[in-house]
Amino acid sequence: MERMEELTKTLTRLGKDKPKELNSFMNFMKEVEGGGVIDKKNKALILISLAVNTQCGWCITAHVAGAVKAKASKEEILDASMLAVVMGGGPKMMYMSMVYEELDKYFK
């Protein structure tokens, strides 16, 4: 199953089992990602770097999609991803394969 399908399935199940908690988290996430002095594209790029740094494949999938939606280029996404490598070295570099996997869905 593709990571985005896994993510959707998990969120659907949480919505049934823990709707209050999921709703609160999703509203918080929407608020933080949406407003403020940093524009949506730059927030999306920051989130990619954080996703690589935390080694979360599902997060990489979701945030690359968000960055593409926010009109980030392939080069911007790669630059943001490499910031995690600067901070985490080789283990973070291995997650670049997931970044490329996601980029291949949007950029040819």
pLDDT at 41 over 90: yes
- Amino acid identity of residue 23, one-letter, is N
CA separation for the pair 108, 104 (Å, rounded): 6
Q: What is the reported pLDDT for 104?
A: 96
Tokens representing 15 are 């919505």
Q: Under CATH, to which class is 3-106 assigned? A: mainly alpha
Per-residue model confidence as pLDDT tens digits over 13-35? 999 999 999 999 999 999 999 87
Q: Distance (Å, rounded) from C-alpha 1 to C-alpha 39?
A: 33
